[in-house]
Amino acid sequence: MRCIMNNIQKMILPKKQSNSRKDKKISTIKKLFSLTVPHYKKILLALLFVLIINVVQIIKPYILKVVIDDFLIKRMSANGLYSVTSMSILYLTLSLISAILIYFQVNIINRVGQKIIKNLRGRVFKTIQALPLHYLDKTSSGRLITRATNDVNELNDLYSEVLISLFKDVFLLVGIVSAMFLMNVELTLISFIVIPIMAYIVVKLKTKLRANFVDMKHYVGKINGFMAETISGMKIIQIFRGEKEKQKEFLEINNDYMKTTFLQVKYNSLLKPAAELFQSFATALLLWYGMTRITNQTLELGVLYAFTVYIRQFFNPISDLAEKYTSIQSALVSTDRIFDLLDEKEILEDTDIGLSLDTIHGEIEFKNVWFSYDNEEWVLKDVSFKVKKGETFAFVGETGAGKSTIINLINGFYKIQKGEILIDGININDIKLKDLRKNISVVLQDSFLFSGDIYMNVALNNDIDEKEIQEFLDLSCASSFINNFEKGIHTPVMERGNNFSSGQKQLLSFARAIAQKPSVIILDEATANIDTHTEKLIQRGINNITKDRTTLIIAHRLSTIRSADKIIVLKDGEIVEAGSDQELIDNGGYYKSMLVHNYS
């Protein structure tokens, strides 16, 4: 009995290879169970139903044994309730109760499974939203999508189908084995001769299965990542006729994935026939031994019959267990992957800790800042500057000089290695990120619009009324094109704003930036997509909205920043010049040569 339970447990739990792997596995199973805790009442009810269903399953062959031995062979006469008719009614009633309970049990457990999965999917999404940029830099979107979709769905199967039938099977096995031992110890031992060999084969297969599952999921993530990247880069692929090349790359990943699925099919298809073979072997052994005992008149025919039914009932869940084993393994790998993400608390950005600053005045100071993305190469080297409240600073320099990096740091997306960044004289690391970002609006070159409508894209979940939004759209000059739309600010926006031109998207991002009523506005190449006519409108809008606000502008087109209070010229992460447009021209240095190139 213990041997059987050990083997079943071994089938569920992978072999102890090392303490850390074992600990991880135990913690994965604990986590799976922890998700069920809020639903324990319903789960207990379902388990009670399972218990009753199993008791019925075990009693039914015994009723048949009584009918065969007592009424068929011994021809005993009916005695009160003890008759063939009452036995038949009992058999039917039990079957009916069992059928009704199966209906409720399946319903309860599936609903619980769906609720667990819904919560888990929500947690994965919340975590993904809190991932800092430095983590997203290194993680493909495909991997994250796979966590929220494929991996979560694997758990769906586990909760709604596998776990309950696992309980059912284990209860049933325990019940059957007990009934068999109670009826005839010798016959029971004969029936289970094959179990150790069978357990050995299953345990051998499981290591291979698990390793293959890890590979399979890796390739699913790769396929999702590749798809996501290809879809977002489809325009470039088509322009540069890269379809064939991409097709080839995809074929390779697809083939690798298929190889792992073939391996899975091979292992899976071995398990079921093996279980069936063992069942036939056990039945044959039982019949041979049972018949010799019946001939010697040391065994009743009904007992032998009940045993053949029990053997079938015993091996069915075993062969199901073998099948479910693959689902369990797959779900365990998915659980690891989901919780690896959910448990990475230290990498998650807590935007709610730190000093609360409802309004920021807008003084920004970099004091000898050194920064590297990868801790290997300095991207900013000893950068120092101070922007007073309401001033406009421009950052210029060739591609890769570090201009956008400065903006990323002011938004608190990365932490610097050396030096200090002060906002209103307070170290940026001490300020609540939420408050910091609330007060700083950034307009990027690639304006991102969400599917919805114009109003929602400008207000971005903030409680701003339509009249105010209209004012922001007027200020940013976006009204010039929105007024032509029949639905005005309720004009639908397609995914990523595909139904708007780059210039229109840019104007909407301006309105969005102002709508947050920030004390600091950052324009990162924000006028790059706008034609000269629109640029003039924008310039007027910018002048309105930057009044009394600290403004930082990054631009390659120097015409847009010449009126800035101070221009900072960067080269290879270092400030090489700083001053007003006139001062820098008078200097006759790097800025002046950039101006000459810009206007030539």
Taking CB under 6 A as the rule, does residue 411 contact ligand ATP? no
In this structure, how many other beta carbons lie within 10 angstroms of the beta carbon of residue 231? 9
- Which lies closer to ligand ATP via its Cβ, residue 338 or residue 564? 564
Residues sharing a CB contact under 8 Å with residue 251, sequence separation 6 or more, in sequence order: none
- Which lies closer to ligand ATP via its Cβ, residue 91 or residue 378? 378
Among the residue ranges 232-240, 397-405, 463-471, 576-584, the one whose residues contact ligand ATP (CB under 6 A): 397-405
* CA distances from residue 514 to 356, 475, 493 in whole angstroms, order as listed: 22, 9, 20
Taking CB under 6 A as the rule, does residue 373 contact ligand ATP? yes
Smallest separation, CB 173 to ligand ATP (Å):
55
Among the listed residues 137, 249, 252, 586, the single contact to ligand ATP using CB under 6 A: 137
Among the listed residues 313, 334, 335, 405, the single contact to ligand ATP using CB under 6 A: 405
Orientation of helix 301-342 relative to helix 84-129, angle to 10°: 10
Taking CB under 6 A as the rule, does residue 400 contact ligand ATP? yes
Among the residue ranges 209-217, 271-279, 400-408, 537-545, the one whose residues contact ligand ATP (CB under 6 A): 400-408
- Which lies closer to ligand ATP via its Cβ, residue 35 or residue 578? 578
Among the residue ranges 85-93, 182-190, 305-313, 401-409, the one whose residues contact ligand ATP (CB under 6 A): 401-409
Taking CB under 6 A as the rule, does residue 401 contact ligand ATP? yes
Separation CA 264–CA 270 (nearest Å): 10
- Which lies closer to ligand ATP via its Cβ, residue 272 or residue 557? 557
Three-state DSSP at 412 gives: coil
Taking CB under 6 A as the rule, does residue 402 contact ligand ATP? yes
Separation CA 206–CA 212 (nearest Å): 10
- Which lies closer to ligand ATP via its Cβ, residue 332 or residue 561? 561
For 19-25, the CB contacts below 8 A with 24+ separation are 24/336, 25/332
Alpha helix ranges (H) inside 516-589: 532-546, 581-587
Among the listed residues 19, 20, 399, 600, the single contact to ligand ATP using CB under 6 A: 399
Residue 467: both structure tokens together: 């009249």
Smallest separation, CB 593 to ligand ATP (Å):
17
Interface residues for ligand ATP in 207-236 (CB under 6 A)? none
Among the residue ranges 347-355, 373-381, 382-390, 463-471, the one whose residues contact ligand ATP (CB under 6 A): 373-381
What is the spatial order of strands in the sheet that 418-423 belongs to? 380-387, 364-371, 418-423, 426-427
* CA distances from residue 83 to 64, 94, 593 in whole angstroms, order as listed: 12, 16, 110
Report the candidate in 111, 241, 232, 109 with the shortest Cα–Cα distance to residue 165: 109
- Which lies closer to ligand ATP via its Cβ, residue 137 or residue 352? 137
Smallest separation, CB 573 to ligand ATP (Å):
7
- Which lies closer to ligand ATP via its Cβ, residue 446 or residue 531? 446
Smallest separation, CB 377 to ligand ATP (Å):
8
- Beta strand spans in 330-391 (E): 364-371, 380-387
Report the candidate in 143, 57, 68, 52 with the shortest Cα–Cα distance to residue 105: 52
Q: How many residues at the interface with ligand ATP, by CB under 6 A? A: 12
Beta bridge partners of 423: 364, 426
Taking CB under 6 A as the rule, does residue 379 contact ligand ATP? yes
- Which lies closer to ligand ATP via its Cβ, residue 91 or residue 373? 373
Taking CB under 6 A as the rule, does residue 404 contact ligand ATP? yes
Smallest separation, CB 572 to ligand ATP (Å):
9
Residues sharing a CB contact under 8 Å with residue 341, sequence separation 6 or more, in sequence order: 124, 127, 128, 144, 147
Separation CA 355–CA 567 (nearest Å): 31
- Which lies closer to ligand ATP via its Cβ, residue 31 or residue 571? 571
Among the listed residues 65, 293, 403, 432, the single contact to ligand ATP using CB under 6 A: 403
Residues sharing a CB contact under 8 Å with residue 494, sequence separation 6 or more, in sequence order: 451
- Which lies closer to ligand ATP via its Cβ, residue 317 or residue 397? 397
Smallest separation, CB 438 to ligand ATP (Å):
24
Footprint of ligand ATP (CB under 6 A)? 137, 373-374, 379, 397, 399-405
